[in-house]
Amino acid sequence: MSLPVHRRRTAAAVLTAALLIPLGACGDDSGSDKAGDSGSGVPKAGLTVLAASSLTDVFKEAGAAYEKENPGTNVTFSFAGSQELAAQVKQGAPADVLVTADTRTMDGLSGDTGKPTVIAENRLVIAVGEGNPENVENLTDLAGPELKVVLAAPEVPVGRYGAQILDARKIGVKPVSQEPSARAVLSKISLGEADAGLVYRTDAATATGKVDAIEIPDTENAIVSYPAAALKTSKHGEAAAAFVAWLSTPAAQKILQGAGFQQP
């Protein structure tokens, strides 16, 4: 027996309401975290960042700050000389972001990265043993025949910067060794295996109590630029781009400048 018209309409309304309730509950969730997103709207992801060795200390602090700001995101760093990082990228190493200590290395990888952004600058200093026992005062002193000078290899950004400022002043230096990174140069000096060398200002600051830093005037120095870019092979492209963008924010710049880096 069929129901009266008014009862059929009432039943249909009840059924429609019952169907709409669950749809409304899982519809617009703009007031809460989306699945796979952090509270800040940045997609949750495990990011691997290839970074120049001179960023080792400051990026560990920056990474912790980024993870705190973006719950659910994990940042893992792999530090090495920029030339080593470039080789890893060309070999297809699984990573999401690249940060080098020079624009030349980054430009050579333009087919593998998104558009780079310079996130910091640096300068070179003359690193000497604590107390400056050899009385090194300036770049010219590095040419002293009795001075044991160690430099970074020419294919390394800090080595290239060093050669640039020495060549500009026609200062001939015969290093006792050429190292793969600024940190390696610093280690030689702190261990007493060399008297002096050219390193980044921020690297010298990490070895206070072991080495002294002799400032080089800006007119004789080189501007060191640190570009950052997301890698095109990243499986977390949106999250990688978000991390690169964050490196230019006031929060990140405060950390970088606190470690002695300069704002670009």
Mean pLDDT by 10 residues, the chain (264 residues): 45 41 34 46 89 95 97 95 95 97 96 98 97 97 96 94 97 95 94 97 93 96 97 96 98 97 95
Name the CATH superfamily housing domain 124-220.
Answer: Periplasmic binding protein-like II (3.40.190.10)
pLDDT tens column, 109-147:
999 999 999 999 999 999 999 999 999 999 999 999 999
Give the DSSP letter string of the chain: -PPPHHHHHHHHHHHHHHHHHHHHHTS--TTSPPTTB-TTSPBP-EEEEEEEGGGHHHHHHHHHHHHHHSTT-EEEEEEE-HHHHHHHHHTT---SEEE-SSHHHHHTTTTTB---EEEEEE-EEEEEETT-TT---SGGGGG-TT--EEEE-TTSHHHHHHHHHHHHTT-----SEEESSHHHHHHHHHTTS-SEEEEEHHHHHTTBTTEEEEE--GGGS--EEEEEEEBTT-S-HHHHHHHHHHTTSHHHHHHHHHTT-B--
Query: Over the stretch 90-114, which tens digit does the pLDDT of each residue have?
Result: 999 999 999 999 999 999 999 999 9
Read off the pTM: 0.81
Measure Cα distances from 34 to 52, 125, 251 in Å.
34, 48, 24
Please report, in angstroms and rounded to a whole number, the separation of the first and last CA atoms in the chain.
82
- Is there a shared CATH topology between the 46-121+224-258 domain and the 124-220 domain? yes
Superfamily for domain range 46-121+224-258: Periplasmic binding protein-like II (3.40.190.10)
Q: Where does residue 33 rank: exposed (0-12), middle (13-18), buried (19+ CB within 10 A)?
A: middle
CA angle in degrees (0–180, nearest 5) for 60-217-181: 40
Could you state, in order of their start, the residue ranges of all structural domains in the chain?
Answer: 46-121+224-258, 124-220
